[in-house]
Structure 1
Amino acid sequence: MDDHRIRRRALFGGGAAIAAAGVGALGPSPAHADSGSAALEPDIDSTAEWGARRPNGSNPVINRRPAKLIVHHTVAPNTSDFSRAQAHAHARWVQNLHMDDNGWRDTGYNFFVSRGGWITEGTTGSLAALYAGTRFIQGIHTSGQNTTAIGISNEGSYHDGAVPPAAQWESLVTLCAFACEQYATPSSEIYGHMDFNSTLCPGIIHDRLPRLRDEVETYRYR
């Protein structure tokens, strides 16, 4: 059995763990499981779990809830490696790019969703802030929006016709639903990078934002 499809999960309000075996690479993502009336908390690998570097200085804490979620893509190769190890390698690659090439203090995105459906913390401190639900960490992802929004970036390049694998899409829905729930953010406040800056990011995912908002809303209240 592909062990990256077996995940721990908990109800928003309860913390009851649910073990579940998933299906093939294009089936339901690691962040999904059948449930009753409550949406599910996704399993998110922390920066410690994927071996992040220490930030160059402190990441600013914004002591209020974000007003919106902004979706990105990382323009990484569209790998067919859907493993957890690849998700971690991708997170390290982006952090190195942002810190070494861009000269930023840390990873710019608050969270990543890998092509295999693995969710990882980006900017250090973002996961604890998400669980708290009252604050967020200022990332570096969208000019003019970093103090009002969290950035969620998808592994891959989606500006040339490629589409995200089903596992990635489903985990994106789950993560956005959890973030909207934690921060009391309406699903109508999910945007793409190109809504604010001159960019092709997040590619075809931007065309699917109405679907994403609808699925997030359904997932929150199913």
Structure 2
Amino acid sequence: MSKIRSMPRYGFLASSIGVTCAAALALPMTTPAATAAARTEGGAGAGRSAAPAVPGSTQSLRLAPLAPDRTAGAGPAQGLYRTGVRHFSLVGVVWDDPDTHLHGTVQVRTRSVARGTWSGWQDVDTHNADHGADPGSAERASGRVRGATAPLWVGGSDGVDLRVRADAGRRGAPAGPLPSGMRLELVDPGTAPPPKGSPARAPRRGAARGATAPAVDTGPAPLGATRIPALGRAETERGLLAPDDGPPAPRQQAKPYIGARPAIVTRRGWGADESLRESGFVYTKKVKVAFVHHTASGNNYTCAQAPSVIRSIYRYHVQSMGWRDIGYNFLVDKCGTLYEGRAGGVAKAVLGAHTMGFNTNSMGVAVIGSFGRTKPSAAAVKAIARLAAWKLGLYGMNPRATTYLTSGGGNLYAKGKNVRLNVISGHRDGYNTDCPGTQLYAKLGTVRSTAAGYQGR
């Protein structure tokens, strides 16, 4: 199990989340009823509950059996058709057992609020178990984790038509059953981040065993800041070599290999409701590998909508899938804007839930979109390189090099195996998955060389 510890503070390293959350932890804890108000269970009256206590909501609707398909070998199917539901912008399907895989297809069409018309059928990526906490970790063993598809961004909608069908068995064998307890999750991200100066809400109780909040961070983003500003390379190097408080930084070369710190939108900036996540932070020792992901949520969003997409993914990861926080440490939109992901400090070794088996001593950065057939934007690729040059440089890692991580268990490497990985790797390098998509994976060589250049190597 990963160690849980407070990390030293450096003047230029800390994120605004330390201040924000420290303030939040000092407030009275919200009641379970207030937190649950943002989630509506399916069944009679779904979509007509009282307004949620905070912006955004999740509607959870039970699926029902569909008429059997008379095609030879067709498997069982479930789905639903619903109009007049409360507005939502992201969909996904969850089920009871996170160890059960959905061997089948999931398709959805939605009715646009703006146009009043139905979209065409869209495929939902069913392979999402590979994004998650390591087996045996406190987060994975919490009892709240569910199996789930990837989330799909559909834009403002008020109607949904879903069908889930099991794959036919091989060589004429009957199709297997669908997972039990399947539900459709309809996520509304809310309209905007909280206004500046509004009081922070307390995170929900139930942090991973032993997790505690670190001391207040007073770094680059003061309380309420929405953005961590970029630094020049010389400023970044000075900050690394001469921290303004806390224990001395690990002694580096006179001119360390580190890229300039890029600008990063804070959790406050994209509107994270801190009452959703678990309290406290969980850290590992260092960051040796940066795993690159895609969110598999589709490419039909504008850069102005990116904060809404992130708020939706955050709700889906926490409320629908049962994780302690959003899984990724960072996210990048198609315009190259970087966003803080999981809480705990952008410069710290925060334990994420992004690459099952290899979350310890790594970080996960996800490009918002799907890149199996679509090429990522040049701006997004450059942003990954800038982030990697800075964050890996803090821990003395060369983006062109290889290193070793110990597997926590997965479908590619057995638990305990010492695995050689590129310092900048794709998700598929640690787990048998399509992520980060063929087109994004093909850009990782460029990311490595560009990041090394930013470090001055």
Q: TM-score, normalised by structure 2?
A: 0.39
3-state DSSP of counterpart to 1:153: strand
CA contact (8 A) 1:98 1:108 kept: yes
CA distance in 2 between counterparts of 1:208 and 1:44 reads 22
Q: Which has the higher contact order (CA 8 A, sep 6+)?
A: 1
Match of 1:214 in 2: 449
Q: CA deviation at 1:79?
A: 3.1
Which residue of 100, 105, 117 corresponds with 2:336? 117
- Deviation readout 1:72-95 (Å, 9 max, x if unpaired): 000122135123xx2211221110
3-state DSSP of counterpart to 2:306: helix
Judge which range, 106-115 or 46-55, deviates more: 46-55
CA distance in 1 between counterparts of 2:428 and 2:278 reads 28
Q: State the identity %.
A: 29
CA distance in 2 between counterparts of 1:179 and 1:168 reads 16
Counterparts in 2 of 1:130-145, with a 5 A limit?
A: 130=347, 135-145=348-358
Match of 1:201 in 2: 435
3-state DSSP of counterpart to 1:66: coil
Which residue of 80, 105, 122 corresponds with 2:324? 105
Q: Which amino acid aligns with 2:361?
A: T
Counterparts in 2 of 1:139-218, with a 5 A limit?
A: 139-159=352-372, 161-187=373-399, 188=401, 189-203=423-437, 204-218=439-453
CA distance in 2 between counterparts of 1:124 and 1:174 reads 20
Q: Which amino acid aligns with 1:113?
A: V
CA contact (8 A) 1:59 1:105 kept: no
* Aligned Cα root-mean-square deviation (Å): 2.2
CA contact (8 A) 2:335 2:380 kept: yes
Match of 1:57 in 2: 279
Judge which range, 199-208 or 103-112, deviates more: 199-208
- Deviation readout 1:22-46 (Å, 9 max, x if unpaired): xxxxxxxxxxxxxxxx842210011
Q: TM-score, normalised by structure 1?
A: 0.77
Considering fraction of residues, name the structure with more helix: 1
Considering fraction of residues, name the structure with more strand: 2
Q: CA deviation at 1:68?
A: 0.8
Q: Which amino acid aligns with 2:431?
A: N
CA distance in 1 between counterparts of 2:425 and 2:281 reads 23
CA contact (8 A) 1:79 1:115 kept: no
Query: How many pairs were matched up?
Result: 186
CA contact (8 A) 2:230 2:261 kept: yes
Larger radius of gyration: 2
Q: CA deviation at 1:13?
A: 4.2
Which residue of 70, 73, 77 corresponds with 2:298? 77
List, as ranges, runs of 4+ consecutive aligned residues in structure 1 with deviation greater than 6 Å: none
Match of 1:91 in 2: 310
Q: CA deviation at 1:8?
A: 4.7
Match of 2:5 in 1: none
Unaligned runs of 5+ in 1: 1-6, 16-37
Q: Which amino acid aligns with 1:88?
A: P
Q: CA deviation at 1:12?
A: 3.8
